[in-house]
Amino acid sequence: MRTKKEDYLPTGADVLVDTLIEWGVDLIFGLPGDGINGIMESLRQRQKKIRFVQVRHEEAAAFMACGYAKYTGKLGVCLATSGPGGIHLLNGLYDAKLDGQPVLAITGHHFHDLIDTSAQQDVDLDRVFMDVALYTTRVMGPEHVANVAHIACRTALSRRGVAHINFPVDLQSKECVKKARSERNIPGHNADLFARRAGLPDEEALRHAAAILNAGEKIVLLAGRGALRAREELIELAEKLGGVIVKPLLGKACVPDDSPYTTGGIGLLGTRPSQEAIEDCDTLFMIGTSFPYIEFLPKPGRAKGIQLDIDSARIGLRYPIEVGLVGDAQRTLQRLLPMVRRNKDRSFLEKAQRGMKEWWELMDEQGTRRDKPMKPQVLAHEIGRYLSDDAIVSCDSGTVATWFARHIKARNGQMYSLSGTLATMANGLPYTIAAQLAYPGRQCVAFVGDGAFSMLMAEFSTAVKYKLPIKVFVVKNNTLGMIKWEQMVFLGNPEFACDLQPIDFAAYARACGGAGIVIDDPKLCGDAVAKALSTPGPVLVEAIVDPFEPPMPPKIQAKQAVKFAKALARGEPKRMKIATTILEDKVRELV
């Protein structure tokens, strides 16, 4: 046994963890297992430099890595054991892939000389991950580790996606011996350097884009997640053009919702003024977005298109464009702005502003109702009122995303996210845990549905374990709400298999060691939200809401109304209550 420092030889796992530290990684999410014991030992020995956060399910680790990348811009890292552990990562990794986030997944594998022999947990994860990862490889020996680790980190960051390293367990603890290197594997030829590109399109393309914008009269700026750091430039551009900023959900925080230049969201979860602006525009400028619901974009030929994106492969993906600008949103807009003339005609913007005044009045009316059962809009409205100016809010998929989009107003300094393109359930709580670990001094809030929360609710105990003061608001309607409404409105079928067995979430939170609060009275909702946000430590609020409150689209299409009526006529079991609720809501809008 070596005892002298000079006799120390690093193991393959040591090299991996040291390389991650060189790349600035100081946080890893994962769950221990016998397929990663060597890596766990290296992490134990380096606890002062890199922190391991133990989760209850590997899917949550991948979600946390994705959420961490979204909120920090840094490399998110998750770790799982061989076989089932690695497989569990996949959903969270697809979330990262589809939303373009830099995440490194590290998995264990069983002994290198038993691979492909039907041994225990003999799953070739490097092949399993071929679709989700930009780069996936299997470690062939401890001398191989530094090379692939540098490439994996660099690939994830530079190409904004998933990288994967599959590491056989026996090679993790094997020492690195210089003589074991191949003759061409010369040490010292790697660097922990990520070179950022200038991110600017050429001058001719900029002038072409400016000419189209200057000729336009009704201009929509569709600003997504790629525009989050270009707030001032977006507002200045909208002001000069008399244009309207429309925000897909991942771009919710790119400008505050009280800006006179934005009409808020788009699509089924969006606003009526946004949809009207899209339908009426003659110029569409897509900035940092690959908004996937093309049915909500202008009809081809209706508007001239310009697209700005950091990824050239996304140019023209959703809409026929006249010119593509490849580059960083903020820097490109800074170059473009001096080329744009002020549009004296403000009628398009003023129409949108009148529409938003009416829209916010409607949202305030919905969010301040005092009748029972409590409407989910009331909870979202009160959360929006009491959030701190630097709050980080993570939402789940489902009907909650509608209330998140419309009733929690984004303010300057806040951050918002959810699973945008994958639209998976269960990401909200892991995102919030990751946000709190990244920003210990900020208010971190999860706004989730009961169906999604219950999938990974064990992670609330992770927040308790690490003393994270997250606040989790569970919208409890005891149903898979979005699925129910899609069955009826999109297909004209009665709902089927959507009701959920009720869970006492507040009691569960207390059983985990956190605080649990129940809200069911809209008159007390504001006080309960304020109490939850000011209570130290992890807090879960169980908000019992009306299960029949529909997530109405901003503009109801005739075919949607027909399908809905057909669903009721074909035997929807709760048709009278649903019809009564919708009728009551529409009457309130009219009066």
**Integer Cα distance of 261 and 352 in angstroms:** 8
Which range, of 118-122, 242-246, 426-430, 476-480, averages the lowest pLDDT? Answer: 118-122
Tell me, what's the pLDDT at 570?
Answer: 65
pLDDT tens digit sequence for 529-559: 999 999 999 999 999 999 989 887 776 665 6
Tell me, what's the pLDDT at 524?
Answer: 98
CB 244 within 8 A of CB 271: no
**Integer Cα distance of 53 and 59 in angstroms:** 14
Read off the pLDDT band of 482 (50, 70, 90): confident
Q: Could you name the CATH architecture of 5-180?
A: 3-Layer(aba) Sandwich (3.40)
Range list of β-strands (E), 290-349: 304-309, 323-326
Chain Cα centroid distance, residue 568: 34
Range list of β-strands (E), 278-332: 283-287, 304-309, 323-326
Kindly tell me if the per-residue pLDDT of 148 is higher than 50. yes
pLDDT tens digit sequence for 52-104: 999 999 999 999 999 999 999 999 999 999 999 999 999 999 999 999 999 99
Read off the pLDDT band of 177 (50, 70, 90): confident
CB 386 within 8 A of CB 535: no
Determine how many CB atoms are found less than 10 A away from the CB of residue 580. 11
Residues 6+ apart with CB under 8 A from 169: 34, 35, 36, 37, 38, 82, 108, 109, 110, 111
Read off the pLDDT band of 178 (50, 70, 90): low
Alpha helices in 389-427 (DSSP H): 400-407
pLDDT tens digit sequence for 208-253: 999 999 999 999 999 999 999 999 999 999 999 999 999 999 999 9
From the options 3.40.50.970, 3.40.50.300, 3.20.20.80, 3.40.50.620, give the CATH code of 368-590.
3.40.50.970
Residue 106 has phi, psi (to 5 degrees) of: -115, 125
Read off the pLDDT band of 197 (50, 70, 90): low
Domain with CATH 3.40.50.970 in the chain: 5-180, 368-590
Residue with the bigger pLDDT between 162 and 573: it is: 162
Domain with CATH 3.40.50.1220 in the chain: 203-353
HSE toward the beta carbon, residue 413, CA cutoff 13 A: 7
Which range, of 229-233, 309-313, 401-405, 492-496, averages the lowest pLDDT? Answer: 492-496
Tell me, what's the pLDDT at 560?
Answer: 56
Tell me, what's the pLDDT at 181?
Answer: 58
Tell me, what's the pLDDT at 175?
Answer: 93
Q: Which of 295, 284, 287, 296 has its CA nearest to residue 348?
A: 284
Q: Which of 181, 163, 158 has its CA nearest to residue 12?
A: 181
- Per-chain mean pLDDT for the chain: 91
Domain 203-353 fold: Rossmann fold (3.40.50)
Tell me, what's the pLDDT at 493?
Answer: 83
Tell me, what's the pLDDT at 485?
Answer: 82
Kindly tell me if the per-residue pLDDT of 412 is higher than 70. yes
